[in-house]
Amino acid sequence: MSEAMLSKVRKLLAQAEDAACTPAEAAAFTAKATELIARYGVDRALLAARDPTTDPVGDRVVDVVAPYARDKAGLLAAVADPLRCRCIRRPAGTGFALHLFGFASDLERVDLLFTSLLVQAAHGLAGTVVPPGEHPAAFRRSWLAGFARVIAERLRAAEAGAVAQDGTPSVALVLADRSDRVARRVTEVYPRLRTAPTRRLAGSGFGAGEAAGQRADLGGPDAVHAPTAPPHPGLPGR
């Protein structure tokens, strides 16, 4: 991401996070930051269609650890999928190693957003009271599931908006081809993938997590130029 674009995103997110900012103002700043990040993805895709060397297909491994390793992995997948990356989960000790596949610019965007959203989820959970009589871990897992679902929906909407704004008839074909190329790379590395069973959650925090996902800032400056994913902050304990 260019320094000029990064500067704009940083400024918008700083304004959205200001305690003096009204909810409507924060939503407007956040929407603009998300729009810039999505626009960047489309621009890089079109540039790579003309010169593939500018944005090769690659991969990286992100380690997520306890507590709530499975839920962190779910959030990473919720970010990666709308940004045309694939996320393969592998057990690793008490957590998981998430093998990400995608074009370099899209992997860059996933790092950027996932790092920011983990911080926001930790803050959101710390400020959410677990209902009396409910197991804290069950509530927090369902909270994180709601948070991740809304984040995925918002990112898909932002990506669709960037494509529509471009107005180039070929852009949808370019993006579809990129998704196909990433899928082929995954198949080359993991020819016998199995789909994980549907997870059942008992906690009542899903709605509160969804509300937090609606308020979340979809961006963050720290991981833009990192060659591998940085250490990620922890969530509240069980």
pLDDT of residue 222: 37
The percent of residues above 90 in pLDDT, for the chain, comes to: 20
Q: What is the mean pLDDT of residues 174-203?
A: 84
For CA atoms 184, 185, 191, 195, the dihedral sign is negative
Which DSSP string corresponds to 31-66? HHHHHHHHHHHHHHHHHHHH-GGGS-EEEEEEEE-S
pLDDT higher than threshold 60 for residue 160: yes
6-20, 117-131, 193-207, range with greatest mean pLDDT? 117-131
Mean pLDDT of 158-184: 85
Q: How far apart are CA 209 and CA 206, in angstroms?
A: 5
pLDDT in tens, 27-69: 677 677 777 878 878 888 888 888 888 888 999 999 998 888 9
pTM for this entry: 0.77
Q: What is the pLDDT of residue 236?
A: 63
The candidate with the shortest Cα–Cα distance to 228, out of 92, 114, 81, 65, is 114
- Mean per-residue pLDDT, 115-140: 83
Q: What is the pLDDT of residue 223?
A: 33
The owner of tokens 């930790």 is: 122
pLDDT: which is higher, 107 or 202:
107
Q: What is the mean pLDDT of residues 7-34?
A: 68
Percent of the chain at pLDDT > 70 equals: 76
The Cα–Cα gap between 37 and 218 comes to 9
